[in-house]
Amino acid sequence: MTSLPQPGAKKLGLVIDLDTCVGCQACATNCKEWNTSGHMAPLPDRNPYSAGAEGVWFNRVHAYEAGDGEDGRTVHFPRSCLHCETPACVTVCPTGASYKRAEDGIVLVNTDMCIGCQLCAWACPYGAREFDDDAGVMKKCTLCVDRIYNEHIPEKQRQPACVTTCPANARHFGDLGDSSSAVSQLVAERGGFELMPELGYKPVNRYLPPRRAPKADAGPPKDAGPLPSQISNPLLRWVDKVLSR
């Protein structure tokens, strides 16, 4: 059914910290590694070892510059499915292959029903869906639905592959529908935001803003006192040194 389910209380999603992401691509790599044999496997690659290499990835890490001068920042920006609350990618699907799970809000594709019309990719503002030319069906992030409920792996590992692998701890997974969850509190604390809210898709995933760099030169300039070398009295020079710390 591509009609949306009644919105559930549970909204599983990711919180991505743009302050600490270092753009190492580990999340994209581990995503590819897990998912090419996971729920929506395989994730094909064309010409993987030569010019013109391209393939299906669920996670793409961009890098941007924002602002100018000393306020300017370099920001690494992972982009993946936001598991929207009102995903038009689901409602446009003519076959029922695309669906949003009532129990946790995960947006998935049943690749056995997909006809490969690609209308869902057009309907997604965020570029979360990539077409598998080999299988003729659409593929997308599963939020590692085959890890997070998987009782065959240790409990600590029941997290999306991108989250477990992030060396900067910039990715967090949890229930954004529960205001007391760790991820919800992180979003509240840090002022997490959603992408392109003006399109009205109500993404579940949140991004945490890069922290503002502390002003190197806050307040009026300090009194230009004498340089230590200009203080001839050793005791006073020592006092100046201590007080200047």
Partner 1 sequence: MNPAPSIIFFTVASGAGYGLLFWVGLLRPLGLVPASAGFGALAIGVALVLVMLGLLSSTAHLGRPERIWRALSQWRSSWLSREGVAAVATFAPAGLFFVGVIGGGGGFTAPMGLLAAIGATTTVYCTGMIYASLRPIRQWHHPLVTPGYLLFAAFSGAALLALFAAFWGAAAVPAAIAAVLGAAAFILKRAYWRSVDAAPPVATMETATGLGFIGKVRPLDPPHTETNYLLREMAFRIGRVHARRLRHVAALAGFAVPAALLALALPLGGTLAGGLFIFAATGLALVGLLAERWLMFAEATHTVALYYGQDPRA
Taking CB under 8 A as the criterion, which residues in 98-117 touch partner 1?
A: 113-117
125 binds partner 1 (CB under 8 A): yes
Which residues ranging from 211 to 240 are in contact with partner 1 (CB under 8 A)?
none
CA distance 84 to 114: 20
Contact 174, 181 (CB under 8 A): yes
2 binds partner 1 (CB under 8 A): yes
Nearer to partner 1, 112 or 151 (CB): 112
In angstroms, give the least distance from the CB of 236 to partner 1: 45
Helix locations, 11-156, DSSP H: 26-35, 88-91, 119-123, 145-148
In angstroms, give the least distance from the CB of 90 to partner 1: 8
Instruction: Tell me which long-range contacts 32-38 makes (C-beta under 8 A, separation of at least 24).
Output: 32/57, 32/58, 32/59, 33/161, 34/144, 34/147, 34/161, 35/142, 35/144, 35/161, 38/142, 38/144, 38/146, 38/147
- Single out the residue of 9, 22, 37, 94 in contact with partner 1 (rule: CB under 8 A): 94
In angstroms, give the least distance from the CB of 4 to partner 1: 8
- Look at residue 30 and give its three-state secondary structure: helix
74 binds partner 1 (CB under 8 A): yes
For 138-166, the DSSP string reads: EEE--TTHHHHT-TTS-GGG-S-HHHHH-
167 binds partner 1 (CB under 8 A): no
92 binds partner 1 (CB under 8 A): yes
Nearer to partner 1, 62 or 241 (CB): 62
**Stretch binding partner 1 (CB under 8 A), from 143-151, 161-169, 190-198, 232-240:** 190-198
126 binds partner 1 (CB under 8 A): yes
